Amino acid sequence: MRRLIIATCTLFTIACAQAHDGTDKKHTHHHDAPEFVQVFKYDGSKQCEKFSGMSNAEMGQSLREIGIPVMCSYSSNDGMMRPQMCGHGTGNIHVYEIPAEKLSRAVEAGFKSVKSLKGFNPKDCQEKQPKKLN
């Protein structure tokens, strides 16, 4: 019985050692900056006002006009609870993936990092190339 336990532990240790190739892919070093970041801005829509708020395309164009390429975008909700009252904000947001080096410029224009939204799960952007408007 003792040999079986020792053999099992040995095999388990070998399997774990082979599974780890020496690189830590989950954690990045502090000097490894992300290539892209996601920023958001509230669309300004109000409850009970059907066509209130700015469209995703219009808001994305405002980023392009200040020299920030938009790699992809989507609309979402901030997920925060709010009272249901006509005239109050909806919590609807537009999210844009932009080059990380343009983050400070986007913040100056009133956008915020999606990391500032508690409980928000950003979508993964598949496109990774500047979107063009028709």
Average pLDDT (101-114) is: 96
Higher confidence at residue 65 or residue 13? 65
**Domain range enclosing 105:** 36-116
pLDDT on residue 1:
67
Residue 79: predicted pLDDT:
86
User: Considering the entire predicted model, what is its pTM?
Assistant: 0.68
Give the integer Cα–Cα distance in Å for 114 and 78: 9
Looking at the domain assignment, is residue 106 inside a domain? yes
- Which tokens in the block code for residue 109? 């224009």
Structural domain contains residue 3:
no
Number of compact structural domains in the chain: 1
Domain for residue 73, yes or no? yes
**Distance from the first to the final alpha carbon of the chain:** 73
81 in any annotated domain: yes
111 found inside a domain: yes
Mean pLDDT of the chain: 80
Check whether 16 has a pLDDT greater than 60: no
Q: List the CATH number of the domain containing 103.
A: 3.30.70
Predicted confidence (pLDDT) per residue in 29-48, tens digit: 445 657 999 999 999 999 99
Report yes or no: 77 and 90 within 8 Å, Cβ to Cβ: yes
